[in-house]
Each structure stands twice: as structure tokens, then as C-alpha cells.
Chains A and B, each alone.
Chain A
Amino acid sequence: MTEETVRVLKSKIGDVDVAIVLGSGLGKLANEVEEAVHIPYSEIPGFLRSTAPGHAGELVYGVINGKHVLLMNGRFHMYEGYSPKDVVYPIEVMKMIGVKKLIVTNAAGGIKLSFVPGQLVFIKDIINFSFRNPLIGKNDEKIGPRFPDMSQPLSYEWIEKANAAIYEKMKQKLETGTYALMLGPSYETPAEIKMLRKLGADMVGMSTVPEIIKANHVGLEIMGISCITNMAAGVLKQPLSEKEVIEVANSVSSNFISIVKTIIERTC
């Protein structure tokens, strides 16, 4: 299947300087692409359909600030019922078509009490609390090693460079944090958030970690950005809702777009 997928994609797109996975409510970056080529997932062999709210279902190839980008607008989640292998299939395909740098983004709940909704945070480390791993099963040595090292799951060097670029251009610096993956789709309970805080997590969500594991497996350079869309359960005395997540993500999208464009222009 992978060969067929690669063949179809290569017939539609050229070289890629950076691939970006867009999280819930962060799809507006797709509007910034010049000379855009839209490829619906339904036209790509082996790709699933994204059923999650706030997620389109297409790849967008083109140019942002002079660099060739491949955006994955709409991702797959395990809570949708997809296997972790299916969730990370696009990452394997990216490697095969020659992608070297990958930025993964998501909407996340803030566990660290100093975080505020709307804040963007670089993911520096991850905790996999999903009880699942996309690499379970027979390993294909041609794709990656049986036991991939995870001692630096996201590139510290890239975070440094990106923060320097963002500071120079926008006089901003993003904090870094540890992202915990929960299966969902029910939001976490307050007791679970307390537990995750104790374990060292700064933010929580239902995605991204499988992709980071797979990207380490295939040897991509990876950066992660979380948009804190709400404080996690129990932090504030109010219920959590998907509407709030999408609204906050939308409201900070212009800042998100400026930051990501700067990262693309200066570090990719």
C-alpha cells in the first residue's frame, strides 16, 4: 500500500521543506499556502477519513514564505476507533516521499497552573498514557529500528532556533512543556488531571504522541506546538466543552499562523 500511496502523492507534489500536521481548530494555516495543491484524503490510497470535529480531510501542498510545505489538514485519532498504525500511516508516507522535518500541532488542556487559554507551548517531551503504541507488531527494519530511542523525542535544537527566530521577529518566546496523551474521547476527570500533574505533565490531549513516536521511528526531525485552549478538568469550576476548544483555537489562530510562518521561513 505504501508504494502506491507514494506514487500517487509524488505525481501531485514536489520537494517538501517541512510537513505540518494541523490540530483541532488550527486548520486556517491552509489558507496561507500559495500555489496550493489540495489532495483530499479520499484520493490517497491507504488514508483514512478524519471524523473529528474541526478537522478537514486533505493534504495541502504549496509555498509559505518561500518554503515548500505539506500540510496535513485533519488528523486521525485513536478515539475515533482507528488503530495506532492507521493513525501514523501518513507519517510513514511522509518519510517515503522525502520529508525530513515535521511540525505537529494540537489543541491541549492546560495542566500547569501558570498556563492561560490561548497560549502556545513547544512540546519538549511526552507521556504516553494511551496504553497503545503504533510500533507494536512486526518491525520493518527498512523503515526504522525495532527499539527507537526516545531520549529526545522532539528536537531541542530546533526549539532553540525557533525561539530565537520568534524573538527576533515578534519579541515573543514560547514556553516548553510535557504533553500527556490520554485516549479519550471523554475528557479527563479532575482526579486524572491531578495525577498527570504529579507525573510531570504540563498539558493533556488526545493526539500527537503516536505521530511523534512514529516520526522518531522513521528518523524525522520533529517539533511540536500545543495551543492551550482551556484549563484541564478541575482547574476551574466549569465544565469542559468542545465548543470552547474550537473557539479558543480560532481566536488565537492569527498568532499561531505568524509564529508558524516565522518558524517555516527561518528554520526550515
Chain B
Amino acid sequence: MDYVQMVKESVEFLKSRVKVSPKIAIVLGSGLSVIKESLDVEAKVKYSEIPHFPISTAPGHAGEMIFGKWNDVDVVLMNGRFHFYEGYSMKEVTMAIRVFQIMGVRYLFLTNAAGGLNHAFEPGHPMIITDHINFMGDNPLIGKNIDEWGVRFPDMSDAYNSKLVSIAEEVAKGLPVEYYKGVYVAVAGPSFETPAELKMFRYLGADAVGMSTVPEVIVANHGGIKVLAISAITDRAIPEGLEPLTAEQVLQVAEKTGIQIAKIFEGVIKEIKEELK
């Protein structure tokens, strides 16, 4: 079956299961499902129930969409994302974003766990992403362009909506939260980066490194959805004196940082509430 049809059928199924049509979608990264505590849950749909949906195999990722209200605003939360390193194609990795686009979502909030390359970054703090470097070696838009979804060559010069970045920053300033801003580099993984690679990424201008988010951001920009993305800096990815890293550590720190990210999102939702009507 062709991809457009698959997306349409997933959308039809979700519409039959939930009555709301949220304008904000939130993708929860590794260890960040704590963000869902902020939600007044109305409905949960398992990925396995949605036609054509892949199933998330990554640790710290459940596999469900949660519909609910956050500060009286309808949102849909993606609890568990799909990663390139799991063996999914870029089209599968980003399928949920297409589904959101067709459902009428206009804002996409993304989160992830990332290693801090910037010397000034301490683990346990959020980094508002201002731009990215795609080092994954693939692109979800390769293939025939689907003109009804977006243009052949989407502009990426404001991929992380600068207005949303400023709003998030204003919100964070009003909170007891130490936050950073920076460039996220995405690698395919799943092996963590070597010290030499980390050194290279730092030289290339990246502040944090991870294995997700970039494909989703490309598709969201193609589909005209505004993006706000925040990394939880979970470890110091500093090549000098690099310590062995485990997924458990990453998840533990991400969970703590997730609480701060949730507060930033909450503030941003309040700010953009009017525009959603």
C-alpha cells in the first residue's frame, strides 16, 4: 500500500477513537514520559492498535498516543518514538508526524535525551534547540515528493521556530530552571559516539548529540508545522576524560530534567493558547 494511503488510514482510525482534534503534538524522548503527568488524560491509543503504525522497541519508550488536556488545551502526546537505529526506515520514523499533520496539528514539541558537547553544559538541565546538523546519512523526504504534503525543497533556515524559541526562553527565565540553548547533532547510533567523534562534532559547531529528533523536524517543516524542541542534557559528552555511559544513567537524568521541560512547555502553551483558537 502506498504511504499516503497508510497515513490516511491511521488518521481515520484515530479520528474514530477520539473526538478532539489537538493543535499541539508532543513527542516524548527517552526517559521523558514524566511529562505525561501534566496531562488530564482523555484517551489512550496503543500503537499496536493503529493501522500501519510501527512499534517502538527503544528502552524508556512506551508505545502509545495519549490524548488529553493541558491547561485546557487539547494536546496529543506521543509516548515512545521510533528511531532510525531500531532499523526503521526514515518514512516509518516520521510516520506519526505525517499523521499529526493530516489531523491538523500546527505545533510540534519534541524532546530527547542528549549528550552535552558544550563545556559549559551540566547534566540535568534542558537545552532549547536552536538548529541542527543532520549526521544520520539519510533524509525522510527522499523519494517522489508528495505535493499535497509540502514542497520538493523545504527551507530549513528557521527549522526551530525562532519565535517559539524566544517564548520558551522567556518562560524558562521565569522559572527556577537553569537552561541552555544550542545546536543538536543527530547521529544514526545505536553505538554511542567515540571521543574522536565527539571532538569532531564540537568542532563542527554542535552543542549536544543524540539519535533522534532531526527526521521529525525535517518532516514537520515540510508539512508546515512549527517546531519547538528541547533536549534533556543527560551526560557530559566531553571527549577529554569521557566516562563509560549506560542507557540507565541517561534515563535517570532524563527523568529529572523532564520535570523542568514540562514546566517550560506548560508556560509556552499558555503563551500560544490564543493563537490556537
A→B interface (CB under 8 Å): 51-53, 78-81, 130-132, 183-192, 194-195, 198-199, 233-234, 238-242, 245
A233→B204 contact, CB < 8 A: no
- Return chain B residues, CB-CB under 8 Å to A241: 151, 153, 155
- Return chain A residues, CB-CB under 8 Å to B151: 241-242
Residue from the list B137, B142, B157 in contact with A185, Cβ < 8 A: B142
B141→A185 contact, CB < 8 A: yes
B→A interface (CB under 8 Å): 131-134, 137-139, 141-145, 151-159, 183, 203-206, 218, 221-222
Interface of chain A, helix or strand or loop or mixed? loop
B139→A184 contact, CB < 8 A: yes
B156→A187 contact, CB < 8 A: yes
A191→B138 contact, CB < 8 A: no
Residue from the list A185, A188, A194, A240 in contact with B152, Cβ < 8 A: A185
B139→A195 contact, CB < 8 A: no
- Return chain B residues, CB-CB under 8 Å to A242: 151-153
Can you give 11 contacting A-B residue pairs, CB < 8 Å? Answer: A81-B144, A183-B137, A185-B139, A186-B141, A186-B218, A186-B222, A187-B156, A239-B157, A240-B153, A240-B156, A242-B152
- Return chain B residues, CB-CB under 8 Å to A188: 156
Given contacts A131-B138, A239-B158, is CB(A185)–CB(B153) below 8 Å?
yes
- Return chain A residues, CB-CB under 8 Å to B183: 191
A186→B153 contact, CB < 8 A: yes
Query: How many angstroms between the C-alpha atoms of A199 and B204 in the bound complex?
Result: 8
Given contacts A186-B222, A195-B205, is CB(A78)–CB(B155) below 8 Å?
no
Given contacts A186-B141, A195-B204, is CB(A240)–CB(B157) below 8 Å?
yes
CB of B179 to closest CB in A, whole Å: 19
- Return chain B residues, CB-CB under 8 Å to A190: 131, 157
- Return chain B residues, CB-CB under 8 Å to A192: 132-134
- Return chain A residues, CB-CB under 8 Å to B131: 189-191
Residue from the list A81, A198, A233, A240 in contact with B143, Cβ < 8 A: A81
CB of B91 to closest CB in A, whole Å: 11
- Return chain B residues, CB-CB under 8 Å to A81: 142-144
Residue of A nearest to B140 (CB): A186
A191→B132 contact, CB < 8 A: yes
Residue of A nearest to B154 (CB): A186
Residue from the list A186, A238, A245 in contact with B156, Cβ < 8 A: A186
- Return chain B residues, CB-CB under 8 Å to A131: 137-138
Residue of B nearest to A241 (CB): B155
Query: How many angstroms between the C-alpha atoms of A212 and B115 in the bound complex?
Result: 37
- Return chain A residues, CB-CB under 8 Å to B154: 185-187
Q: A184-B142, A186-B141, A238-B157 are in contact. List 8 more A-B contacts (CB 8 A).
A: A52-B152, A80-B144, A81-B143, A132-B137, A184-B141, A185-B153, A187-B153, A188-B156
